[in-house]
Chains A and B, each alone.
Chain A
Amino acid sequence: MIKVEHLTKYYGDHLAVDDVSFEISKGHVYGFLGPNGAGKSTTMNIITGCLSATDGRVLIGGHDIFEEPDAAKRLIGYLPEHPPLYMNDSPLEYLRFVGEAKGLRGPELSARVSEVVEKTGIYNVRNRRIATLSKGYKQRVGIAQALLGSPKVIILDEPTVGLDPIQIIEIRDLIRELGKTHTVIFSSHILSEVQAICDQIIMIAKGKLVAFGTPEELQQKLLTPNEIILTTNAKDKDLQDIVSKVDYIADITTRTTDSNFTTAHIKSNHEDIYELSSSIFRAFTHSDKVIYEMSLKKGNLEDVFIELSENADAVVTPIESANDDSIESEVKSE
């Protein structure tokens, strides 16, 4: 549906988007995740034809956004970061204008406008001046505008920023609803939001694409090593002996407290942390030492996000999908 190839954008000397490539297929909700200033808006602006690229290509349904802007733009509905609303219009007037610009006429225009008014829940305010609407309603009018002309892809740039919690939930529900009928790409710097709504996550930091995959894949493949924290009566040296019988241990740090308790942080790159914990448990049963407490610390997406954002200078080949050839991720720290 959307194919982005080697997209690069310089603002003067500042590199905003650095050789980003990805492909988006039909019928998913894609989350475009990255910290503020990562290049999310710039990328979205380029995809929607609002901004030129320094280098690279964007294909929307096979149409190059720079070569055939009209055909490409017809396939997209876009809500920029600041909803582009004419404050003196009423939502109805505004939507009629956008509909006409998208080539709708006559009865079809009226029908489509009523349809999106219905869908976004702005029926009650349809004749008020947009300037007098609350932020949540303004955002809805913006989304309604993007929906007009039944585009194949809907792109929403930070649609929940600046809304109150109830409005955020409403907008999220709306996005989820839209995801059933459209391909939706929406950007956010809030991880939990993306995790909650999206089937696929595109992570971008410092202008680079750092990860691409389902939330579960990202969690699995890009995890910081799993960690097991255990407290035992074994002394440092005994502990080392016991644990040395277990495979896949990457690192172990211990701390002995005065009352003969030793707390160990065991890091591992074993994929299945539960299997590892059983191995450790069994290793202990063969010794005369006991485990008082054992807890598993699984890496979560939050950690991945923070780590990726911090190490954006490192190059990560994106994880495509599970059955793809390019699953391996390769991290080169500079």
Chain B
Amino acid sequence: MIAVLKHELRTYFNSLTAYVFGAFLLVFVGIGAMLYNLQAAVSNFEFVLSFSSLVFVVIVPILTMRVLAEERKQRTDQLLYSLPISTTDVVLGKYIALLLVYMVPLCIIAVYPLIFAQYGDVYLLTSYGSLFAFLIMGGALIALGVFISSLTENQAFAAGIGIAVILFNYFSISLAEYVSSTALGSAIALIVLSLIIGWVIRHLTKNNLLAYGVSFVLIVGTLATFLIDEAKFEGLLPNIMKKLSLFDRLDIFVNGVFDMTAVVFYLSAIVFFLFLSVQSLEKRRYN
């Protein structure tokens, strides 16, 4: 794992990736700090972070698009498979390298509240609480990016899908207001979701029986619950969309609450996507 980590870090800092990523993040947070803290003279640095989170839509896919897709394209994944290291080591090494690349600009950003504190009252606890949330939310998005990159050998495709998924996640709170909140609408959405899950399973395992089986069980479960207790489905779809939003939970911290549930949620998302990445790499050996 250490070997992969060191190699990845060297690759990032020898190429433009780490610098472009860092520059983007710093510019965005810098503009935010200008607008809120300097121009509008607000002492809440956490607002800047809330505003800056939009930048993840672009920079996370740029950072993560090549991480596994490129290995596959250059056939270097064969080297990784033949080395005496496990796939988990590979994914973890790569993920931690990405995390470190992400933490470099964050360390610079971490100085801002201290600077502002020299010239007025800054809520340091809230600022750093939010910065911590900003860190692990970014970590969760990077894990998502790693997973998307593991699905394809085309970097551009990985970036495109990444941007689409993160953008959707960013706006899912606003979109949730517009989707149908009726029980029937939610039930239909869940059935569609079951089919999508089945399709993903089929794509990952190439096992038709398993895929159709899972879809079938999920659909029957949905229909049965729907027929027995329709009320449960009332407003379910918008709720799910709200619950799955990574960005929404950042605002809890910005509002001054250190929410452990959110921390657990982010960490689970990280573990979940890294697990999927490992499975996705393992699956390539079985195709």
Contacts and interface: CB of A to CB of B under 8 A. Distances in A.
Interface of B: 2-4, 6-7, 10-11, 14-15, 74-79, 81-86, 206, 285-287
A186 B5 CA distance: 32
Interface of A: 11-12, 45, 48-52, 69-71, 73-74, 76, 78, 80, 82, 84-89, 93, 97-98, 100-103, 145
Given A50-B285, A88-B11, A98 B83 contact: yes
A48 B82 contact: yes
Contacts of A93: 7, 10
A98 B84 CA distance: 10
B206 to A, nearest CB: 8
Nearest to B85: A101
A101 B78 contact: no
Contact of A49 (B4, B75, B81): B81
A6 B195 CA distance: 38
Closest 6 CB pairs of A and B: A100-B3, A84-B79, A73-B84, A101-B3, A50-B81, A97-B7
B76 A101 contact: no
Contact of B285 (A52, A70, A86, A145): A52
Max chain A Cβ within 10 angstroms of own Cβ: one of B6, B11, B82: B82
B2 to A, nearest CB: 7
Contacts, number: 73
B14 A49 contact: no
Contacts of B7: 86, 89, 93, 97, 100
Nearest to B70: A86
B82 A80 contact: yes
A158 to B, nearest CB: 13
Given A50-B285, A98-B83, A86 B11 contact: yes
B84 A84 contact: no
A45 to B, nearest CB: 7
B74 A87 contact: yes
Nearest to A77: B82
A101 B81 CA distance: 11
A115 B230 CA distance: 72
Contacts of A97: 3, 6-7
Nearest to A103: B84
B84 A102 contact: yes
A86 B78 CA distance: 12
A70 B15 CA distance: 32
A76 B79 CA distance: 12
